[in-house]
Amino acid sequence: MDKFELFFKGEELEADKLFSPRKTEDGLVFTLWAPHAYKVELIGSFDKWQKGIALKKIDYRGIWQVTVKDMEMVYSYRYRIYKDDKTYHDKIDPYAYYGEKRPSNASVMYDLDCYKWSDDEYMQKRSFSYDRPMSIYEVHINGFKKKEGDDLNSYRYLKETLIPYVLENGYTHIELMPIFEHPFDGSWGYQSTGFFCATSRYGTPYDLMDFINECHKKDIGVILDVVYAHFVPDDFGLAYYDFAPLYEYREAHLQKSEWGSNYFDLNSNPVISFLLSSANFYLSRYHFDGLRFDAVSHLIYHQGNRDKGENVEGLSFIKRMNYHLKKLHPSALLIAEDSTDFPYVTKKIEWGGLGFDYKWDLGWMNDTLRYYKMDHEYRKYHHNLINFSMAYFYNEKFILPLSHDEVVHSKGTIIDKMFGTYEEKFHLCRNLFVLMFTHPGKKLNFMGNEIAMWREFDEKKDLDWFLLDYPVHDAFHRFFRDLNMIYKNSEAFYRNEFDWHNFRWIDADNAKQSVYSYYREDDKYCYVVVLNMMPISYEEFEIGVPHGGTYVEIMNSEKDIYSGCNMCNFTPIKAKRRKRHQQKYAITLRLAPFAGIIFKTRIHRRKVKA
């Protein structure tokens, strides 16, 4: 069988093993796909970039190859691609495993086969977490915490700083913003050149492997943000690779994205093999536990615009990719960042869906932040912004995201979006997170949300850790950690959450007072949540509850330890047998301004006689 057959059929999931430099008994083999090239040469630091080594065309479909004897896999290199006898340009290897540290940009030979993993136990027990807690900490590596005096962070330093921090604060997963090699720091990795090449900014591939291995030893999952809709039109990258459109669309009107990048040509089977292989590569070789796919709307609709029609090639690519990845990595997480209402994104492919495990609920994010930005006096007219999410929640499997997208480009940070005075913003922000952690759906928060950062994200700077020297920020951090721990250790908030039986409104329609109440329960415990969205307090506020017994307040966002007013329910509340809000029982509680409260009671079920 022709070893390139699957590549040209768009079904190759290990194309890097065909094209990345590899050792053989005869020497180092270099292989390139460049069908429009007149000729191709290998240039590199092995002879101080002086004389190129000619590749031979071995396949009429544009495969070039050369075997170089007595060469160690330690050099930087590029491919010199000729349009004719005189016209050429130098390009990186699309399948390189490593690259020079920016601003240099040559590919670097690298052998990935020497790292010894020790995460077998974790890999065997991991799952896609439908019935497990999932609280994701989204991280830009360079913006978290750098060693003093260093301009760039490192994968090694993350082992010392990020892993203990994630454990201490109750997160279950880390999501890394894109680490594909990219020329411009300010793109945050979303405009990439190296789709098999983890950026050298932060260390070597083995350093990254060691970080992920250590995360797995501590039972932390690691998700990678990936971009397969488009790529940066860099002179040394994939753009017009062999002097003609190769990785991008040939049609000019399809080629450019709204970000100025080039869309991948999803009509091209070799390009599809390239992308499938990249996704499989990071799950296989780096042991990432999941991939979060950026800009899925641009794969569903042409240029992400419903008015331009469905992107048939993009939809086909999504289904092909997810089908193969699930077959190879059944427990890996496949997550769509999709802003459309296209149906069945998280339904299995064989059942007519797109095959993702989760989808970001950007509707919840937009509605919720719009509500919390609003003047208190107008909230009663927009009450459904908060309760509308449950009308569609069971259509997909959702993650609730408060991501980096919400704290950049002059949008203001999460704390800064809250309406009101300086003090009111903290009250409201705590209320928001009680809503988020008790609402069905997995959770994702961008770094800095947990310390109520005022400054927008800047990839050149650490988080403002000095804020923790201020009591109100330190108290907010404690609140966030406590809330994360309650979520993580309370089965009712994550088990069977995609079953509509798991969530019940007590009162979804109290627009006049702008108070919401609902409950979640498992086999043993019931949790009642009350959210007061107004600066009004109630010494006696009655709500219906589903069970008799005693209700204990386990979280009140207005406790003094969180810099609240301390108007709490310090003693357990006995439910009374009285119908209220279509429930059999009722409790009367103290409700502080802007309070987010969680009550817990044990469920005493009657035994059925045999």
Residues recognised as catalytic? 294, 337
Would you call 89 helix, strand, or coil by DSSP?
strand
Q: How far apart are CA 600 and CA 552, in angstroms?
A: 5
Amino acid found at 447? M
CA dihedral (560, 563, 564, 568) in degrees, to 10, reads: -20
DSSP string over 39-63: EEEEEEGGGTT-SPEEPEEEETTTE
Which residues are paired to 122 by β-bridges? Answer: none
Q: How far apart are CA 133 and CA 440, in angstroms?
A: 11
For residue 164, with 0-12 CB atoms within 10 Å meaning exposed, 13-18 middle and 19 or more buried, which class applies? exposed
How many other C-beta atoms are found inside a 10 Å radius of the C-beta of residue 484?
A: 22
Angle at 34 between CA 29 and CA 38, to 5 degrees: 105
CA dihedral (532, 537, 540, 546) in degrees, to 10, reads: 10
How many other C-beta atoms are found inside a 10 Å radius of the C-beta of residue 207?
A: 18
Contact between 363 and 327 (Cβ < 8 Å): no
Q: How far apart are CA 118 and CA 2, in angstroms?
A: 36
365-374 — which CB contacts under 8 Å span 24+ positions? 365/400, 365/401, 365/402, 365/406, 368/432, 368/435, 368/436, 369/406, 369/414, 369/417, 371/533, 372/417, 372/418, 372/419, 372/428, 372/429, 372/432, 373/417, 373/418, 373/419, 374/419
Region of residue 287 (left: phi > 0; alpha: psi -120 to 50; beta: else): left
Closest CA to 441 of 485, 518, 499, 483: 499
Angle at 228 between CA 224 and CA 231, to 5 degrees: 110
Closest CA to 23 of 79, 97, 80: 97
DSSP string over 126-137: ----TTS--EEE
Angle at 494 between CA 492 and CA 497, to 5 degrees: 90
Size (the chain), residues? 610
Angle at 298 between CA 498 and CA 253, to 5 degrees: 165
For residue 352, with 0-12 CB atoms within 10 Å meaning exposed, 13-18 middle and 19 or more buried, which class applies? exposed
Amino acid found at 155? Y
Region of residue 452 (left: phi > 0; alpha: psi -120 to 50; beta: else): left
Amino acid found at 522? D
